Structure 1
Amino acid sequence: MAQISAALVKQLRDKTGAGMMDCKKALTETDGELEAAVDWLRKSGLAQAARKAGRTAAEGLIGMATAPGKAAMVEINAETDFVARNADFQAVVREVARIALDCEGDLAVSRDSLDQTMVERERGVLAEQARAEGKPENIIEKMIEGRLRKFFEEVVLLEQTWVIDGETRVKSVLESLAGTLDTSVAVSDFVRYQLGEGIERESKDFAAEVAAQLGS
């Protein structure tokens, strides 16, 4: 049995947002393997529930680091723009961007270009979630395929919905364009980065918030 240190528990908590005791249990169940513990929390529904908690963080910074033949961009969010102007925060963003130069991305243009190891890992998590819901084995595979389609819509560009009409898949748009132009059309790569993307900003009454903090 691996030694479960406080530092390892904190690392898992920072990675998933789950409670300290849940993180310790996950690491105990997985013999101290961090990524396996992440999957254990997901299968138990604990990491997903934890991600819904907390306050909105739609401010922050985008950091970029380059090296010969490659580059990396990262987004680090904070609750206020005051934090983003802090020198320590800016240093963290620079360091994370530097580290990200050695990380592999989870996004892909097509299903075929997606890391199959990641797909199989997702398949395993989805299977355990279905079993935890008490579903019979004969329908679990159908459930997995349905949920994998949702997964592909999140991480594969061609499977995502075209922003113009909110209905058509990107791959269908390309097929239609190819027919119109009478030539093949393909996406070889893509980049889109926007600070605070996908985060719903809260509308606040500043005066009321100050009054609440002052206890008046």
Structure 2
Amino acid sequence: MTITAAMVKELREATGAGMMDAKKALTENNGDMDAALDWLRTKGLAKAAKKADRVAAEGLVGVSVDGGKGVAVEINSETDFVAKNAEFQGMVSQITTAALGVSNVDELKAATVGGKPVETVVTEAIAKIGENLTLRRMEMIEGDAVAAYVHNSAADGMGKIGVLVALKGADNGIGKQIAMHIAATSPLALNEDALDPTLVERERTVQTQKALEENATADKPKPEAVIQNNIIPGRMKKFLEENTLVNQKFVMNPDITVAQAAKDAGVEILGYIRMGVGEGIEKKEENFAEEVAKMNS
């Protein structure tokens, strides 16, 4: 497979690896981006990177809470300019409020806003604004209490990142603090049981291979039993501490975990939603010079 400069650039941006290392990783793995990333990590040349770090799109995430129910809705636009438009923001607010009465995005499209189906409202906005708009997704969460937080707020209840936290027990303000923590740390799951087993096994494989390669070049190699029974479990424990919400160090007080912070406040975290604009959407990068050349050819 031909390794292009764009592929090397994408891998470098995702991992922070050098150009030659990124190219070698892609070459060794026949252009497979995820395999190349793991290869770099095995060699100690890159940190773990989430796919969301390599994608982007414009638009807004709206959040709304009514008692023990909260919803997050993502509506995409082509440009950030439209996301700052008051009319677009008003539409996002209305649709997010409507989402409190439905269970999924298909029901939301059929729900009414101002006497019209949401799907029609979006279509009419496309014609008026002159840019493609997409009601992409919604998620709902419930608990005794639900707290909300919006990061990079564009208007009340909407911004680039929306977070909802469902709690068992009465929220005394800890909910928003945990939501802010989630916005900042982007945990992969609530706890170990909620993690994708495939992801955990992939991490274990990377850490095992990395430890074996480090041991092979060490001045005083350790017995393999020590690696398998001590080093790998230790590294996996650290992985869980860094990537599961309840085990992370609480940003408001790094001396305790998020789970302990919740317990101290008399609540239990039931679940959370962290929705960022453009997660999972590949954004096409235009080369301005190439576009001009095409126009003049």
Q: Is the contact between residue 41 and residue 47 of structure 1 (CA under 8 Å) also seen in structure 2?
A: yes
The yes-or-no answer on 1:114 pairing with 2:179 is: no
Q: Point out where structure 2 has 5 or more consecutive residues left out of the alignment.
A: 50-57, 63-70, 85-133, 138-185, 216-221, 277-297
Distance in 2 separating the partners of 1:28 and 1:187: 44
Distance 1:137 1:36, change over 3 A: same
Deviations 1:42-88 (CA, angstroms, capped at 9, x unpaired): 1111124xx9xxxxxxxxxx96346xx86459xxxxxxxxxxxxxxx
Greater RCO (CA < 8 Å, at least 6 residues apart): 2
The whole-number CA distance in structure 1 between the counterparts of 2:26 and 2:257 is 40
How far apart are the structure 2 equivalents of 1:176 and 1:65?
31
Larger radius of gyration: 2
Cα distance in 2, alignment partners of residues 11 and 165 from structure 1:
35
| Alignment partner, residue 33 of structure 2 | 34
TM-score (norm 2): 0.42
Tell me the TM-score normalised to structure 1 length.
0.56
SS at match of 2:241: helix
Residue aligning to 1:137: 224
**Could you say if the C-alpha distance between residues 170 and 90 of structure 1 is closer, same or farther in structure 2, counting changes exceeding 3 Å?**
same
The answer as to whether partners of 2:187 and 2:245 remain within 8 angstroms in 1 is no
SS in 1 for 2:271: coil
Aligned to 1:64: 60
Inter-partner Cα distance in structure 1 for 2:74 and 2:231: 36
Q: Please state how far the C-alpha of 1:171 moved relative to its aligned partner.
A: 3.2
Structure number with the higher strand fraction is: 2
What percent of counterpart residues are identical? 40
Q: CA deviation at 1:6?
A: 2.2
Number of aligned pairs? 151
The residue type paired with residue 156 of structure 1 is: T
User: Structure 1, unaligned stretches of length 5 or more?
Assistant: 52-61, 74-88, 179-183, 194-216
Contact 1:4 1:32 in 2 (8 A): yes
Are positions 1:147 and 2:223 aligned together?
no
